[in-house]
Amino acid sequence: EIVLTQSPGTLSLPPGERATLSCRASQRVSSSYLAWYQQKPGQAPRLLIYGASSRATGIPDRFSGSGSGTDFTLAISRLEPEDSAVYYCQQYGDSPTFGQGTKVEIK
Amino acid sequence: QVQVIQSGSELKEPGTSVKVSCKASGYTFTTHTVVWVRQAPGQGLEWMGWINTHTGIPTYAQGFTRRFVFSLDTSVSTAYLQINSLKTEDTAMYYCAREGDGDFAPLDHWGQGTLVTVSS
């Protein structure tokens, strides 16, 4: 099983700043089958990024994904209050797994 | 437009069973795998497994091989999750989600979640 480790656990930033979230895999992620999801309190997760760097439908270009192999990054530029959420990475290869999440607080 | 609608919250006693439904619309149901994800209170997302909506064959992740059953009724575009012999530790939000196009795909549409509470 591929273990995904996200860091930091919590990120507190003011509006307008840039957030950088990390997702590190215990083994190489096949063909960049790496996705990022956003989950706001009381809501279901929402797909943001797939294939490590492709934005899902309707996702603003403030969200960008990068990386390959075992190291992946989600960047959120020009932070807005509505970006407060927990962000999860997921590898969707043979035995899919999720990371434990990074909480982003906009203060 | 694609929609995934789950059944409402359930309160069950330990040892009983629960069946959660997940109704899809806006696309051909049998062309996309349905995945189940568990989220315990205050915790992260946990992959439970999936069901191939074309063949009806379920695949369970480790830890979900005994008391958990995935099934379908393709005539009403609905997937089901049944949990037998409920334990208090089964208390969680259960999500179903549609897997996107291709053999390996992310979860592009999610249900709103069904809260299952197990308590005596």
Which of 87-106 (A) contact B at CB < 8 A?
A: 88, 90, 92-93, 95-101
Cβ-Cβ contacts under 8 Å, B100 against chain A: 50
Nearest by CB: A33 against B97, B104, B107: B104
Q: How far is CA A41 from the centre of its chain?
A: 16
Does residue A31 surpass a pLDDT of 90? no
Mean pLDDT of B80-93: 98
B112 and chain A: CB distance < 8 Å anywhere? yes
Q: Which of A91, A77, A84 is nearest to A36 (CA)?
A: A91
Instruction: Dig out the tokens for A89 from the structure.
Output: 């990475």
Instruction: Dig out the tokens for A82 from the structure.
Output: 């509505």
Nearest CA in chain B to A1: B62
Mean pLDDT of A66-81: 96
B92 DSSP β-pair partners = B116
What is B1-39 written as a DSSP string?
A: --EEEE---EEE-TT--EEEEEEEESS-GGGS-EEEEEE
Does residue B106 surpass a pLDDT of 90? yes
- What tens digit of pLDDT does each residue of B29-53 get? 999 999 999 999 999 999 999 999 9
**pLDDT at residue number A62:** 98
Q: Are B27 and B89 in contact (CB under 8 A)?
A: no
Where is pLDDT greater, at A61 or B103?
A61
Q: Are A39 and A46 in contact (CB under 8 A)?
A: yes
B42 and chain A: CB distance < 8 Å anywhere? no
User: A10-13 and A19-25 as β-strands: parallel, antiparallel, unpaired?
Assistant: unpaired
The kind and range of the H/E element at A7 are: strand A4-7
Handedness of CA A96, A41, B43, A53 (dihedral sign): positive
Distance CA B120, CA B101 (A): 42
Residue A83, φ and ψ in degrees, nearest 5:
-80, -5
Rg (CA), chain B: 14
- Does B108 sit within 8 Å of A90, measured CB to CB? no
Does residue B92 surpass a pLDDT of 80? yes
HSE-up of A23 (CA within 13 Å, CB side)? 33
